[in-house]
Structure 1
């Protein structure tokens, strides 16, 4: 479903630990809490396009 819909400029957020999803991603986004008097959330984004895919294949 996701592959079929994404061909027409469809965007979605998928939460998954399955390698099939994140191994084809262009970016990863993480959200984490910061405890304190008032719990706040922070967001991290990692652009995976800056990494050479061939390097990952060689290390597996």
Structure 2
């Protein structure tokens, strides 16, 4: 069963931001400076940690 987090959207300049909860970061071993790949779908946003090379095909 997936783990669900509820977060608020904030503003940074002209952009919007969300903060990833610590348990989510720990689960993927995310560190400051890591690159994430964001895929926008009809009703969802998928976020994955970039590993190795990535192709947008």
Alignment TM-score > 0.5, same fold: no
Which bin holds the TM-score, normalised by the shorter protein?
under 0.3
Give 1 or 2 for the bigger CA radius of gyration.
1
Q: TM-score, normalised by structure 2?
A: 0.21
Tell me which of the two structures has the higher relative contact order, counting C-alpha pairs closer than 8 angstroms and 6 or more residues apart.
1
